Every structure is written in C-alpha cells, then in structure tokens.
Chain A
Amino acid sequence: MADYKLELKGVCKSFPGVKALDNVQLSLRPGTVHALMGENGAGKSTLMKCLFGIYKMDAGEVYLDGEKIVVNNPDEAMKKYGIAMVHQELQPVPARSVGENMFLGRFPMKHIGPFKMIDHKTMYAETEKWLKEVKMDFDPKAQLGTLSIGQMQSVEIAKAVSQQAKVVIFDEPTSSLSDNEVEALFRIMNDLRDKGVAMVYISHKMDEIKRIADDITVMRDGTYIGTWPASEMTTDDIIKKMVGRELTNVYPARESKPGEVILEVKGLSSIHEKSFQNVSFSIRKGEILGFGGLVGAQRTELMEGLFGIRKVASGQIFVHGKEVKIRRPADAMKAGIGLITEDRRGNGIFGCLSIKDNVGVAIYNKHLKAGFVLNHKVINGIVDENIKKLSIKTPSMKEHISNLSGGNQQKVIVSRWLANDPDVLIMDEPTRGIDVGAKHEIYEIMCNLAKQGKAIIMISSEMSELLGMSDRIYVMCNGKMTGEITDTNDMIQENIMSFATKF
C-alpha cells in the first residue's frame, strides 16, 4: 500500500512565452485535506487542469495508489480513476432538475420492450439518497437554478460522492458562499475525510485553511515551494512562503509629483449586499493609484459602479471638487473618466470591427459636421496619431482588431480612451493575458500619462505589478476597503496580503 493516494511528480507546462509550471509536485495522503496555496497566477489552477487532462502536461507523472496513470480528460478522471472536481465556477445546467444534473451523461436506464428509457424513478431516488449522504435534503426534482450557489455546490459534491470519488478537488469553493454554507461544506468535507477520501483544497482564506487543512503545499510563480503539516505553519509563515520573491526590474523608473485631488469617492455602496460597500478613496493628478486584493474582492465591481455600469445604492462622487451623478458610462465619460475593462474580449473590443471603429466608438459623438455627419478626416487623424504614439503594430487602421495580438488590442483600447482625453483613467488588470514585452510598453504608457497629469487607477492582482507601479495602494477584501498603503517603505507584499485576507 502506497503512502499517498495521489501523487503528481515533476509536472512541467509551458504556454507560448510563459513557463506556467516548472517541476511541480503534490502528494495527497488518504483521508486528509491538502491545502494548495499561492498567489493569483502561481499555477494552482493550471496544475489541476493538467491533472484532469484539460491541459496536456509537457513533462511529469501522476500516480494513483502508487500506480502510474495517464488522464486524458475530466470524464476519464472521474469514471476511470475516481478523481472529481468541484469547480470555482460551477458548470451545471441550471434549467434542469437536481436529479438530471447529478446523472447527466449517465442516466439510469430501463428497458420497456424494445425501447430504452430513462428511469426517472431510480434517478430521483438515487439523487435523494446521495443528497442525504452529504446532509442535504432538498427536492431532487427542484430546478437547479432555483438553488443557492452553496446548494448547487453540494449537488456537485453529492455527484462526486455518488461516483465513489476517491480524490476530490475543491477549487475556491467558498468564494461565493455565506458563512452557514461554508459550515455545511466543512461538515461534508470532514465526513469525506473520515471515509478516507483525499481532498485538495484551493483557497486564499487563511482562517479556513487553518481550520480544515491537514497539509499545506505552497506554489509560487509556477514552482513548488514546499509541503508542510498545517499545524506547524502560522498564517504569517504561509504568507511569507507565498510571496517571498524578488521584484524584477521591469517597471520604468519615474518621479511622481501628485498634484491636487481630481476624483474623490465617498461611501460608495453597491445595491448588492455582498458587493462593494461603503468604499471611499481619492486620487490626485499625476498619480498612479493601485488597487490590490484577491480575486473576488469586488474591485472590478467597484470601478464598474463608479463608471455607471453597475447600480449604486448610495455614495457620492466628486470630480474636481464638484459632485457628479453617474448613472451610465456616458455620464462618467462626460465627467472625464475612462475605464479599460478587465475582460477585454467580453466588454472591451469589438472583434468584428476595424481598429478605427474600435477607437472611434467613444469619440464619434464629438467630431461631427453640421451636428450629425461624422468628420472622418479628423477621426482618422486622431486614430492615426494614436497608432503611432502607442506604436500599435498594424498594417492599417482598417485592420480588424481580432487580427492583432493581445498586447496590441489592449493598446487600441487605451487609444480609445486617450482619444476621449480623460482626466482619470481606470485600468482594470491592464496587463492580463499579454506578453512581457507588451506589458513593459503598457507600463511606459501609464507612466507617460501620469507625467502628463492624468490620474491612473490600476487594479492588479499581480503583486509585483502593484508594488512596482503604484504611488499609493488601496487594498480591498470582500467588498470592503481594508487598508491604504501610502509609504513606499510599507509597500511590501506581506502587508498587502494581510490586508487582502482580513476577512
């Protein structure tokens, strides 16, 4: 009998330009909860995707009960090897019943004469049995979409249990759960532990880790740092292991001379209780203001609220000392605010339109002849100037934006807002998904803008970027502002991490 239920050894995975995993290992003991920790982008999810065969690993081996296995896809992982995953973002069929979701792809069948039919009676009886197994008692015929996220999660867990899973991966399961639901989840996990199931628990929440985990493995920048018994590690130890890295010198040097306050936000609260609440901050001319925090800290939501995309319940916004009402993005633009969104594909670019239209869409309003005819000459001039200024690599402004690289697409979006000449530019994860060279260019653009007196708000989940670029940093956790770091000497990763994990 092997000591470990599941072992991953020497896993390597490269993406074009990035080494995502470098010789990573993970060993799960049966009947334990193993916390896998690391910053955003440390490679935790990539490692799990390699385990499930969603990504093909470049090198590395997987052992189950001491025997080498090769997993080709998630379906095989479950059916052949009993490895299940409860996703961070659930992917069920909300319009169908709980039972149908549990038995999707493996419906119990019965024969009636020559016909094969789905045996609904068995399916719902079985569903009820397994839901009881995880201490849940809701109607197996209920439509899944009517359940809370926590309940949906327990359906996923019940599904894993019903298939006799021996290994269950929980990828940030508590990120959208209420306290009660977290308690319920932990009860289930304790049960599974007693049954000898090995579990991987991916989470950023320190208190949860301390409560539930038996072992802790820390990853950083795609490398394996080490594995320790949870009882021997303090929260500070874990944070140190997670962030202990030298800052690389990719950030352009600059002198910041912040001027007067341009934008002030007072007590901004979302209409949703779990989103941003009572957030206040201000930004000065020529300042680069960093917003730190973990994924799910509601930073994006806050900025979208400020920009008029999301509804705000209360709070005031002052631009140049004057209160402005922002109900829609057009209001924010009029007030001199620009927003470069996090999800470039989702709400940034117009994939089927040209570079010109992608830049122009925000300024077509401003350059009209006789009040309604587009002044193409002026607009072309602005677009051309921006292509040159930001050195966007393209044969012409008529090129479709979807033909450009991620970095160049991002520069087109930056141009869109520069063409609008905002005083405050909000950049949400400005370097996500772009290569190192383009990253540096984006940083230079940001520095230049600050030098011209623009105020820049940067949301970043990349610790080094946050520390390297910001004049001042606000940290958020679960929708609340938990800290402000003004002294550059205090700008160390440990400080941010402790603010970011406050709740």
Chain B
Amino acid sequence: MVKTKQQKIKDFLINNGVIIIMFVLVIYTGFTSDNFLTFNNLNNILMNMSSRLVIALGIAGCVITAGCDLSAGRTIGFAACIAGTLLQRMDYSKKFFPNMPPMNLFLALLVVMGVCALCGSITGFFIAYLSVPPFIATLAMMEIVYGVCLIFTNATPLGGYVSSYTGMATGSFLGINYLIWIAIAVAAITWFIFNMTRHGKYMYAIGGNPQAAEVAGVPVKWTLILIYMKASAMYGLAGFMLGAKAGGASVNLGYGYEMEAIAACTIGGVSVTGGRGRVSSAIIGVAVFELLKAALQYLGVNANAQYIAIGVIIFIAISLDIRKYVAKK
C-alpha cells in the first residue's frame, strides 16, 4: 500500500509525538522566560539528567527482558550512603568511621558498585533460577536494601565529604561537568554492550521470546543474572554521583527514582512487553522528563501540579507508543 502524504505526516506525528510536544514546550519556554535557554541552565539540566540517565540505562536492560526493577531507588540511596561513609573528611565532627582515613575515590566507587552488583545478582538469581517474577523479586530486594541501609547508617544523614568527592560534581573538563562526562561514557558503554556483544543480543532475544531463546541455545538464566547485576552496579554509580552532587546523603536519597526511570524508558520507546528498546530511547525519555520538569518550573507552574503534568505526559506517551506496535499487527 502506498501511503499518501497526509498519512505519512500523520504517522510522523504519532511516532514522534512526545518529542514534538517537548520541542514545542522548550521553545515556548525559551521565548517566554529569559534564563531558560542559557548555557548555565542547560548545563544544570544536563547535570540533573546525568545520574537519571545512568539509572534509566540500567533499568532499560531489565525492561527489555520484559522485567522491571523496583529496587533501583533504594539501591541508589544505599550506594550514596556507603560512598558517604567511605569518603568523609578526617576533621568532620560526625564522621561515621572516626578513625578511618578517607578512601581513594576510585576504590570507593568500586566498593559501592561491587556491593550493589551483589544485591542485583541475588535478585537476578531469584528471577532466573527460581522463576520469581521480576516485579516481586525486585520489590523484595527493595525492602531488604532499605532495611540494610537503615541499620548500616542508623538513619543518620551523612556529610563532610572530602573535596575530591564533591569535586566530581563541581569540576569540569572542556567546560562540561564531570557528571555529564560520566553519563556520556556510560551511555557509550551501554550502547556497545547492547549492540556489539552477544550479551546484548541475548538480552533482546530473551525479551522477544524466552522460549525461543532457550531453544536457540541462549544461556537464558545466566544472562538474566548478568542483566540485574549490571543494572544494580549502575544504580551504585548513580548513587555515587548523586551523593557527590548533593554533598551529602541520607537513607531516603533516590526514593521513587525507579518509577521515573521506568517511565522515562517507556516514554523513549523501550517496550514493557520486552524485546524493544535502545540506548537512545533511555536518553530521549530522560531528556523529556528533565526538560519537562525544568520548563514547568520556569513557566511558574505550581510544584504540586507538576506531578499531574508528568502523569499526563506518561499517559500520552505510552498510548502513542503502543499505537505504533498495535497498528503493525
């Protein structure tokens, strides 16, 4: 069937609906408020995006296999807390480990990511080998991680970080903040994993049809564990970044971020039914979210009403996205 010009335009509008709405909103905000389209503000938005993108890229792997990860938010909080305890100044009065000198920054990051990866691999084990649905398994891990974090920190907020740690969020290279560089690097590595390694291909295969994947000789169970492990390690990195940016951490850091990350992925086109999604999907989704938040703020929309706006965007975006695939059948 040859499509008429009108149909083509309609298809284009439907397929890129959310992005178009975003552009319109950004341009409108840019014209009506003076400070929106400035370097500083954009840099700010990108900095906010950076940790969110790392979370979304982690969760994207889970969603592509038709799973999800509810433990992301709590894992991020846990990661930030661990990082905080390891990287406090010696002269800080409420130091968590009073006699321990601050750890090397990279070593601390490694420890944080390692601990988180362990949590993720446990979740992955339950999902892969004991067939616990991802929704439930990650819910369980969410509770466990939160509990462990509460016991570990005694629910006291952490602060007094060494300058090298906070410098991660303030320093820049080529005029671009380190956090943004990290997000770019993570996106590049994730793209590489998704497209250039068999692990990535297996991930798509499992999401597309787990039974067929098994018949085709894909190590389904091991791949699933790796995916959840990798995702958790990325939440660890995100928590580390957020701690640096805030200059402190508490147990409630990251709470609810998993929902926003899942929503961002789906807005960008990662299918919750599995098998579909790219790195660009996560980037678009996170960009839509952060730009929307910033634009609404600049337009002077009531902070509480912003939640409603975000909910509406999710409704519209997912309905449009589903339309693409329903129409194809």
| B-binding residues in A (CB < 8 A) | 307, 309, 328-330, 332-333, 339, 341, 346-353, 357, 360-362, 364-365, 368, 372-374, 376, 402, 416
- Contact: B201 with A362, CB < 8 Å? no
Residues of B within 8 A of A333 (CB): 217
- Centre residue among B198, B215, B218 by max chain A CB count within 10 A: B215
What are the residues of chain B within 8 A of A339 when measuring CB–CB? Answer: 215
Interface residues of chain B, those whose CB is within 8 Å of chain A, are: 195-198, 201-202, 204-205, 207-209, 211-219, 271, 274-276, 328
Enumerate 16 A-B pairs (CB-CB under 8 Å) in ascending A order: A309-B214, A329-B217, A341-B212, A352-B276, A357-B204, A357-B205, A361-B205, A361-B216, A361-B218, A362-B217, A364-B202, A365-B198, A373-B196, A374-B195, A376-B196, A416-B216
Docked complex Cα distance between A357 and B200 (Å):
11
The answer to whether B212 touches A349, judged by C-beta atoms less than 8 angstroms apart, is yes
Shortest CB distance A279–B (Å): 20
A361 to B214, CA, bound (A): 10
Give the CA-CA distance A38 to B187 in the complex, in Å: 60
B271 with A361: CB separation less than 8 A: no
Highest count of chain A CB atoms <10 Å: which of B207, B209, B276: B209
- B195 — nearest CB in chain A belongs to which residue? A374
Contact indicator B209/A349 (Cβ below 8 Å): yes
Specify which chain B residues have a CB less than 8 angstroms from the CB of A353 in the assembled complex.
204-205, 208, 275
- In the complex, how many angstroms separate the beta carbon of A367 from the nearest chain B beta carbon? 9
The total number of A-B Cβ pairs within 8 Å is: 77
B197 touches A374 (CB 8 A): yes
Q: Are A373 and B215 in contact (CB under 8 A)?
A: no
Q: How far is the CB of A374 from chain B (nearest CB, A)?
A: 5
Within 8 Å CB of A346, what residues of B?
A: 211-212
> Which residues of B are found within 8 Å of A376, using beta-carbon distances?
196
For the complex, what is the distance from the CA of A346 to the CA of B213, rounded to whole Å?
Answer: 11
B201 & A360 in contact (Cβ 8 Å cutoff): yes
**How distant is A86 from chain B, measured CB to nearest CB, in Å?**
29
A389-B101 Cα distance, complex, nearest whole Å: 67
**SS class, residues of chain B in contact with chain A:** helix
When the two chains form their complex, are residues A361 and B201 in contact, meaning their CB atoms are under 8 A apart?
yes
Q: Among B208, B217, B219, which residue has its beta carbon within 8 angstroms of that of A352?
A: B208
Q: Contact check, B208 vs A329: say whether CB atoms are below 8 A apart.
A: no
- Could you tell me the distance in whole angstroms from the C-beta of B278 to the nearest C-beta in chain A? 13
Given B197, B212, B213, B219, which contacts A373 in the complex, CB threshold below 8 Å?
Answer: B197
Q: Considering the complex of A and B, which 7 residue pairs feature the smallest CB-CB distances, nearest first?
A: A350-B208, A347-B211, A364-B198, A352-B275, A330-B217, A329-B217, A333-B217
CA separation between A362 and B218, bound complex, in Å? 7
Query: In the complex, which residues of chain A have a beta carbon less than 8 angstroms from the beta carbon of B198?
Result: 364-365, 368, 372, 374
Beta-carbon contact of B212 and A348 below 8 Å: yes
* Cα A348 to Cα B213 with chains together (Å): 8
Chain B minimum-CB-distance residue to A304: B215
| Cβ 8 A contact of A361, one of B196, B207, B213 | B213
A189 → chain B, closest Cβ, in Å?
37
Contact B217 A357 (CB under 8 A): no
7 additional A-B residue pairs with CB within 8 Å, beyond A307-B215, A347-B215, A350-B204: A330-B219, A333-B217, A350-B213, A352-B276, A362-B216, A364-B201, A365-B217
* Chain B residues near A329 (CB-CB < 8 A): 214-217
Quote the shortest CB–CB distance from A347 to chain B (angstroms). 4
Contact present for A352 and B271 (CB under 8 Å): yes
Chain A residues in 8 Å Cβ range of B219: 330
CA distance A84 to B214 in the complex (A): 39
Contact between A372 and B204, CB atoms less than 8 A apart: no
Q: For residue A428, give the distance in angstroms from its CB to the closest CB of chain B.
A: 11
- CB contacts (< 8 Å) of B274 on chain A: these are 352
The smallest beta-carbon distance between B190 and chain A, in angstroms, is 15
A351 to B209, CA, bound (A): 8
Looking at the assembled complex, report how far the CB atom of A405 sits from the nearest CB atom of chain B, in whole angstroms. 15
User: How far is it, in angstroms, between the C-alpha of A365 and the C-alpha of B219 when the chains are bound?
Assistant: 11
Chain B contacts of A372 at CB under 8 A? 197-198
Which chain A positions have C-beta within 8 A of B328? 402
Q: Which residues of B contact A349 (CB under 8 A)?
A: 209, 212
CB atoms of B214 and A374 under 8 A apart? no
> Which one, A328, A347, A360, A374, contacts B212 given CB within 8 A?
A347
Bound-complex Cα distance A346 to B217 (A): 16
Could you tell me if B201 and A374 are in contact, using CB atoms closer than 8 angstroms?
yes
* Chain B residues positioned under 8 Å from A307 (CB to CB): 215
Q: Which residue of A lies closest to B198 (CB)?
A: A364
Which residues of A lie under 8 Å from residue B202 when comparing CB positions? Answer: 361, 364
Q: Are B201 and A357 in contact (CB under 8 A)?
A: yes
B219 to chain A, nearest CB (A): 7
Contact at A350–B209, with CB atoms within 8 Å? Answer: yes
Q: How far is the CA of A365 from the CA of B195 in the complex (A)?
A: 14
The CA of A352 and the CA of B276, in the complex, are separated in Å by 7
**Nearest CB in chain B to that of A333: its residue:** B217
Query: B195, B196, B212, B274 — which one has the most chain A CB atoms within 10 A of its CB?
Result: B212
Contact A341 B196 (CB under 8 A): no
Q: A387–B229 Cα gap in the complex (Å)?
A: 37
Q: Which residue of A lies closest to B201 (CB)?
A: A364
A347 B214 Cβ-Cβ under 8 A: yes
Distance between Cα atoms of A333 and B218 in the complex (Å): 11
- The complex places the Cα of A19 from the Cα of B328 at a distance, in Å, of 28
Chain B residue at minimum C-beta to C-beta distance from A356: B201
Which B residues are CB-close (under 8 A) to A368? 198
